[in-house]
Amino acid sequence: MPPLTEGRTPGDFLLFEENSHYSREVATIAAGADLEPGAVLGKVTASGKYVLSAQDAADGSETPVAILLSVAAAAEADVVNAIVMVRHAQVRRFGLIFDATWSSEALRDTACAALGNAGIVAI
């Protein structure tokens, strides 16, 4: 029997969320990359869509504001109805997926502080 491999799940990073899924929203992930649960997202100001937050972006997505909870196969097209964590949550920092531009611990500290401003505490 071949071994089974489980992909990433919210259990890899999510420690606490508010009751009745208050911490979550349904969102659109912009086309451009396949993303896994735990991806740190920024919101593009012009479109309102979420993308992997890149520190050097200049479209609003440079500020981390959410964390992806569901798989988003967005390499070819936008993913609608993705579930994102946007408020009142506690996450495991080392379970998060950052864009390569958040290359040092100091920069990731900055990203986690921005998530904290959104009400997502990374420990």
What is the C-alpha to C-alpha distance for residues 29 and 103, in angstroms, rounded to an integer? 23
Find the Cα–Cα–Cα–Cα dihedral 11, 106, 86, 42, rounded to 10°.
Answer: -110
The mean per-residue pLDDT over the stretch 64-90 comes to 97
Which ranges constitute the DSSP H helices of the chain?
Answer: 105-117
pTM listed for this prediction: 0.94
Residue 66 in this model has a pLDDT that exceeds 90: yes
Mean per-residue pLDDT, 30-44: 97
Domains and CATH numbers, the chain: 10-122 (2.40.300.10)
